[in-house]
Amino acid sequence: MAAVVAAYFIARPSTQAITSKITPQKHVSDTPSIKPTTPRGPVVDANLQSQLQNWAQNHSGNYGIAVQEVGGKQRMASYQADRSFVTASTYKLFVVYGILHDIEQGNHSLGSTTSLGLTVSQCIDAMLIRSNNDCGYPMGKLMGWNNLIALLKQQGFTNTDLYNYDVSGNPTSADKTSTAQDEADFMKQLVEGKLLTKDHTDLMLSRMKQQIYRERIPAGVPAGVEVADKPGWLTGIQCDTAVVYGTKSTYVISIMSTNTTPTQLASLSTLVYDYLNN
């Protein structure tokens, strides 16, 4: 500031004594302040993407993998995420969502009785905590399978097909199918509160945190890290879809596979956890 004042008086000399006090000017930065920004949406992490591909290609079996951070840097990566796989019991996530959405529309309640004789609330606990199979069809039937399929398509889960029953309600030779991307998108929208009310979102996630089969994604993260997941398995099929509440990163991960083992899914879970939380 002193240099500026000196230059001014050299340019306009005066024989009069300077008696006025110079008031310092308030400093105004020439550079506008830059506010920190966050990514506007998911960003593909090329390094993690490469690691998923290398891992899958160096382990036996076939995989569909989708990983998406919730908040934070919103990193995402995938491998064959749009490949169709048999869902095994992961389809129960969609059924529970459908019936809770139906309740929010004023149809039924948690106390409504299914054709199995159990209430909706009891079936939700059975399906999400113990992976009970008996409640699956009665819950879908209570809402209406066609209504459920329409809801899933409307919400963008266009590669998920759960209706494999004949006109009498008996299972056909077809299987329920979905993709790792659809299931990861479902979990991300669920945990972000975009699918259900807070009470119903909390209901689903709390039951998933209590589920008793922990050999897959939960087995791959450090002890004490909370995981809400829904595994599924049939002969030759291993699947798991989860939200992992890591120490530095919360993320959703969906793994669908054939000809693999729970231990392999746990190993993949460890890779993803270590990458996003270190």
Q: State the Cα–Cα distance between residues 142 and 4, nearest whole angstrom.
A: 81
**Which DSSP symbol is given to 25?**
P
pLDDT in tens, 88-124: 999 999 999 999 999 999 999 999 999 999 999 999 9
Q: Which of 30-44, 72-86, 102-116, 230-244 has the lowest mean pLDDT?
A: 30-44
Query: Can you give the pLDDT at residue 167?
Result: 79
181-217 pLDDT, tens digit per residue, is 999 999 999 999 999 999 999 999 999 999 999 999 9
Q: Per-residue pLDDT tens for 5-56?
A: 344 333 444 444 434 444 444 444 444 444 444 446 899 999 999 999 999 9
Question: Percent of the chain having pLDDT more than 70?
Answer: 86
Q: So what's the pLDDT on residue 229?
A: 98
Question: Any idea which of 9-23, 149-163, 225-239 has the lowest mean pLDDT?
Answer: 9-23
- Sign of the Cα pseudo-torsion (255, 256, 257, 262, in order): positive
Mean pLDDT score, 145-151: 95
* Mean pLDDT computed over every residue of the chain: 89
Task: With cut-offs at 50, 70 and 90, classify the pLDDT of residue 176.
Answer: very high
The whole-number pLDDT of residue 8 equals 39
Closest of 229, 210, 275 to residue 249, by C-alpha: 275
Q: Is the dihedral of CA 40, 41, 46, 51 positive or negative?
A: positive
Assign 2 a pLDDT band (cuts: 50, 70, 90): very low
Q: Specify the pLDDT at position 173.
A: 86
pLDDT given for residue 220 in this prediction: 98
pLDDT at 33: 46
Q: Which domains does the chain have, with CATH numbers?
A: 43-277 (3.40.710.10)
| pLDDT score of 41 | 82
Phi and psi based region of residue 71 (left: phi greater than 0; alpha: psi -120 to 50; beta: remaining): left
Cβ(240)–Cβ(259) below 8 Å: no
Q: DSSP string covering 210-265, please? A: H-S--SSTGGGS-TT-EEEEEEEEETTEEEEEEEEE-SS-EEEEEEEEES--HHHH
Q: What pLDDT sits at residue 170?
A: 83
Q: What is the pLDDT of residue 208?
A: 98
Q: How far apart are CA 106 and CA 81, in angstroms?
A: 35
Segment 135-144 mean pLDDT: 95
Q: Is 213 left (phi over 0), alpha (psi -120 to 50) or beta?
A: beta
| Residue 266 in tokens | 């746990």
pLDDT category of residue 3 using cuts at 50, 70 and 90: very low
